[in-house]
Structure 1
């Protein structure tokens, strides 16, 4: 067993939200309060031209949205904090889903003006599926938003989870003056600052201290005392066990763009959030304190540094100690690989890493050996669960526009689909390339990155398919007959698994009834475990 000290100090979490709730801004401000950066670039402030620290792809800088998962780490209050900033846009939900497999808890950002939105509900469902502990940060309190009590009721009703406020706003919109930390029973007041930490911090431990009246006014001070007294009486005491079991969501209020409420969130988070937890493999449960190293690849990113055309695989350490220059066993390829230049991250800034512990995310330079879901161990044959590909919803054929760039196009499409941006299916004869995604925005990203990073251009022609299903059968002859008969509707994924393209829901039901010996899979989990039905 390894030392528990390194495990207990780590906090690895994802920040998730509906688009434009302020997720990337909050990520930057956590880095600012954690001392990882000195100046934050406000995403939507025209006076500040620097783009967000965690948005490093060119298309992200141009559009002001996150379309890739960023990984950032820093030390704070004796803890090692690892943040995974996820795409907020629904078209990149699959990337977010995979990222949630690599974290131990989540901060869910909610816009105080809009409240619970469509993507908020979907993300919460994924968290509940995984029993992931959730802290809710109600953002943009500097805007004229909803009543805090109304928001708490909506969170419980719409997200189907009990809530417990651990901070409380003083005013809202034009009257917003800061937040009171209920968990630590402390009030810290300072001037709003969009880029740096304020120097004029006033910390008051007693809510009945008359200093508060002088700073925020007697009316607001009295309202704060009444609100806090009501909350303490109405809500039960915060139960750490219920939070970590994902039955209870602590709620914090603030304005990330102005730094209000972020310090209270971070201070409480490192105290209550879970340290690295056990991970389920198909073979057994893997505990973080086990001596042998194990980890899995949850994301791959090509051209993180466009000048070097590198390819990085993101590995979540699950157990043991990762060490540079040590050989590790790649379970899918059945061979050992040594990593001479593993890295840690601050967005696109990389630092050479000598060792890593459970909860850490390690960047591994990859020459094409890794796929999402791959496992590394010290020799044991393991495969970690929870990283499937899903059946796409939109299909387009990639048609090369420049015959002289055929190799670049082929390489670009394969690398981008290896990252999980989309799925690639190849249909014969002619090696016809079909790209499948869950949203249109992914195609914009693919075309943009193909041109920017590989110098390749292509047209994307719409294909009217209803669903793509992986097909398997215990009856090899039956599977071969089906593939032969339905040849024009069959393609192969990047692992050479046959995939059936159904034109309509009726057509899919018909073939399922006509070919009972075949199994139709709607996720790629069939490769490692029992059939996953839709």
Structure 2
């Protein structure tokens, strides 16, 4: 990541802010590593889609938004770099609405853009008149915002139609419900460089993003019945592996999100896929690249376990209560689209390369390794040339295996060898 100056893997951090504990998963912005987004979306209730205000809506943002919508989680759009010159507010907002839908409504408005970006005007609290230079239509946009919020609450909707004023406190309290229902996708403006709008973004993330209880998730019983998952710490324990990482020093790391119940260290649970018990001797709190042991995890927590070889990405682990074996839906990943034949530069690494590639395949579900029986080649498949280049660099730096690659051979089955003549009689 340092060499390429881009993110290639998801990273988890957590912190307390505004009276809430927030888990934040940073995912790569390049489509080459979209598989990292798939696992992260399973672990969260809200997707924060960060856009460069100077560039507008880019391809990967569209894809991530679609994935979040299909996963049934809420979305919030954050426009960063609003201090960039030559930003047209109306064109930018119209582009967002054309791409993500008419439910994209600003909850604050920029006071100026580019070098003039000095503040944001809060449309929820609306505690004071807009400053001179506030862009857009403050009154009209706030009316749109109110309508989107009350649409998800019958009581508020009835009062709204009767002409009653809805208080700022009621609007604020019902924004998460509107986001969960899909009637509102909040849009915010900020500049991380200058700090303008950052505090307002942090407040919005704390107050408006969803909690585990705000999302309805389904799980399946052994006989195939779908049942509603109860995200309560008092229910039987259910968690899912949302990421796998092979570490050269501590072997395999599995990252799990807790969806129900509690779990103490030294507990035994069941891997629903295999039906076998799994002993978790140590639970690890994850903060970036650091891990610290913890005694207990509960609903909403994301934790890690080390050296549990039977766990695979997407596995559900659960308390073996009455042998129900409740499992969460599998995590769906995009299929690879490019391939390269690969072989070790040194024949001494012939055995080593196969194991190294399969380790990467276990970490990254958008990377596949196949052995073509017709051409007798080992072919690695990924999302792009950059994706496969990163794989080669991992082989070299982590496994000390240098490889050579080339385009896979085409397994021709039939080919034209010459010309022939023929005749026939056609009868009507």
- Alignment TM-score, normalising by the size of structure 2: 0.81
Give the match's secondary structure for 1:463. coil
| Residue in 2 that maps onto 1:109 | 50
Tell me how far 1:86 sits from its aligned partner. 1.0
Q: Is the 8 A contact 1:408 1:455 kept in 2?
A: no
> What whole-Å deviation, never above 9, does each CA across 1:431-471 have from its counterpart, x for those lacking one?
85322212111111111111111111112232267xxxxxx
| Residue in 2 that maps onto 1:82 | 23
| Residue in 2 that maps onto 1:162 | 103
Tell me how far 1:429 sits from its aligned partner. 8.6
| Residue in 1 that maps onto 2:134 | 224
> What whole-Å deviation, never above 9, does each CA across 1:243-298 have from its counterpart, x for those lacking one?
11223211100112332212211212221221113432343332212611111112
Tell me how far 1:138 sits from its aligned partner. 0.9
Give the whole-Å Cα distance in 1 for the aligned partners of 2:136 and 2:10.
42
CA gap of 1:223–1:230, structure 2 versus 1, over 3 A, is farther
Q: Which runs of 4+ in 1 moved over 4 A?
A: 427-432
**What 5-or-longer segments of structure 2 have no aligned partner?**
150-174, 415-428
**What 5-or-longer segments of structure 1 have no aligned partner?**
1-59, 186-204, 209-220, 466-487, 490-501, 504-534
> What whole-Å deviation, never above 9, does each CA across 1:493-532 have from its counterpart, x for those lacking one?
xxxxxxxxx99xxxxxxxxxxxxxxxxxxxxxxxxxxxxx
Tell me how far 1:226 sits from its aligned partner. 8.4
Give the whole-Å Cα distance in 1 for the aligned partners of 2:409 and 2:374.
19
Say whether 1:280 aligns with 2:247. Answer: no
| Residue in 2 that maps onto 1:48 | none
| Residue in 2 that maps onto 1:11 | none
Supply the RMSD in Å over aligned alpha carbons.
Answer: 2.6
Say whether 1:334 aligns with 2:272. Answer: no
Give the whole-Å Cα distance in 2 for the aligned partners of 1:274 and 1:234.
21
| Residue in 1 that maps onto 2:239 | 295
Give the whole-Å Cα distance in 2 for the aligned partners of 1:408 and 1:135.
45
| Residue in 2 that maps onto 1:396 | 340
CA gap of 1:400–1:225, structure 2 versus 1, over 3 A, is closer
Structure 1 residue corresponding to 2:378, chosen from 433, 439, 455: 433
Q: Is the 8 A contact 1:101 1:386 kept in 2?
A: no
Give the match's secondary structure for 2:356. helix
| Residue in 2 that maps onto 1:254 | 190
Which aligned pairs between 1:288-437 and structure 2 lie closer than 5 A? 288-289=231-232, 291-303=235-247, 308-379=249-320, 380-420=324-364, 422-428=367-373, 432-437=377-382
How many residues align? The count is: 376
Tell me how far 1:161 sits from its aligned partner. 4.1
Give the whole-Å Cα distance in 2 for the aligned partners of 1:390 and 1:226.
38
> What whole-Å deviation, never above 9, does each CA across 1:207-240 have from its counterpart, x for those lacking one?
47xxxxxxxxxxxx32339853443245435512
Give the match's secondary structure for 1:405. helix
Q: Is the 8 A contact 2:111 2:132 kept in 1?
A: no
Q: Is the 8 A contact 1:294 1:318 kept in 2?
A: yes
- Alignment TM-score, normalising by the size of structure 1: 0.65
Q: Is the 8 A contact 1:278 1:318 kept in 2?
A: no
Which aligned pairs between 1:104-183 and structure 2 lie closer than 5 A? 104-183=45-124
Structure 1 residue corresponding to 2:202, chosen from 259, 266, 272: 266
Q: Is the 8 A contact 2:104 2:185 kept in 1?
A: yes
Q: Is the 8 A contact 1:112 1:145 kept in 2?
A: no
